[in-house]
Amino acid sequence: MYNEERLIETAGLGHLHALFAQVPVDSTGLIQRIDLVAVNSRAERRDHALAMFRETLGKPSGRQGLRVHTIRVWRSAWSSTANLRRSRNERIIAAIAFSVLVPLVARAQEVDVIARNKEVIRQNLAHICGGDVKAAAADFAENADNFGRPVGREGIQRTLEDILTTFPDYCLRIVEMVAVGDAVIVRCNVTGTHLGMAKRPANGGGLVGVKPEGKRHEITHIHWYTLRDGKIVQHYANRDDLGMMRQLGLAPPVPTASVSPAK
């Protein structure tokens, strides 16, 4: 049983045979409907085409047994040269608009993501300055990496707990922030007073087991965060650990170059 709907397009009488050729010669079943779409054809020419099509279907040679349940004729929306020209212009304008708007929409979405990522980092550093370890750790993904190591959110939280035990007033204040794609880079002014004993090798590991003497340090950090779906998935940092140790009295001061008197 050849049982399907067909949409047949014709530009006028000249395409009638090609139109009819789309109906299988050996078909003996029922064609539910044939739609003739007359493009740039006047109504009387379409009617003539329909009449010829019906007459051809009725001929016994090679087509006996072929039945058509419904034959419908549609006039194309582009039935005149003016309409066709206007349609072409509209399509060109639409294509230009599409080519312009799609990148703008994509850019707007990217800007939204960048703005959200920057806000996540501002919020994260504010949590640390406020001593809220759980809130700060919650800004990280469950499987977050720290310095290329898969420590997860729990590992991040333990490290922050140790840092804030060692420096209860530990704070990172943003000096400069740059965000590109999924990355946020921050230059920070970092301060803290050494009031506790570190147990984990954070901040270079030089404070583990060291008795605090209440000294304060102020150094510069650069932190690089990668975010996905509003969570930090990767973190790297460049810190002035030696500067911190010197300010805490745990490393030799910067040597002063001796200047020989001019002879």
139 and 64 inside one domain: no
34 and 122 inside one domain: no
Number of domains in the chain: 2
Report yes or no on whether pTM surpasses 0.85: no
Strand partners, 190: 172, 219
- Which residues constitute the domain of residue 143? 116-247
225 and 150 inside one domain: yes
43 and 136 inside one domain: no
Are the C-beta atoms of residues 51 and 22 closer than 8 Å to each other? no
Per-residue pLDDT of the chain (263 residues), as tens digits, is 333 333 333 334 444 444 444 444 344 444 444 444 444 445 555 555 556 555 555 544 343 343 444 444 444 443 445 555 566 666 676 666 666 655 655 666 677 899 999 999 999 999 999 999 999 999 999 999 999 999 999 999 999 999 999 999 999 999 999 999 999 999 999 999 999 999 999 988 999 999 999 999 999 999 999 999 999 999 999 999 999 999 999 999 888 776 666 65
Residue 252 placed within a domain: no
CATH code for the domain in which residue 183 is found: 3.10.450.50
68 and 131 inside one domain: no
What's the N-to-C CA distance of the chain in angstroms? 114
| Residues across the chain | 263
Residue 99 placed within a domain: no
129 and 41 inside one domain: no
CA 225 vs CA 59, 96, 195, 228: distances in Å = 78, 38, 28, 10
